[in-house]
Amino acid sequence: MKKVICLCCALFIFITNIAYAEVTGPETSAKSVLLMEQSTGKVLFENNADEKLPIASVTKIMTMLLICEALDEGKITMEDMVPVSERAMSMGGSTMFLAAGEELSVYEMLKGIAVASANDGCVAMAEYISGSVEGFVDEMNKKAQELGMQNTNFINTNGLDEDNHYSTARDVALMSRELLRHDRIFEFTTIWTDKMHDGQYDLANTNKLIRFYQGANGLKTGSTSKALCCISATAKRNDMQLIAVVLGAATSNDRFADARTLLDYGFANYAVDKPVESGEEVCTVPVVKGRKENVPVCAKNEFSYLTSKGNKNACETEIILPEEIKAPVTKGQVVGNMVFRADGEEIGEVELVAGEDINKKSFADIIGELFNRLFG
Q: Which residues are catalytic?
A: 57, 60, 117
Written as one string, the DSSP assignment of 142-191 is: HHHHHTT-TT-B-SSSS----TT-BB-HHHHHHHHHHHHT-GGGHHHHT-
Give the integer Cα–Cα distance in Å for 196 and 199: 5
CA 149 to chain centre: 15
Give the integer Cα–Cα distance in Å for 146 and 117: 25
In eight-state DSSP terms, residue 318 is E
Give the integer Cα–Cα distance in Å for 168 and 59: 11
CB count within 10 Å of CB 315 equals 16
Give the integer Cα–Cα distance in Å for 55 and 159: 7
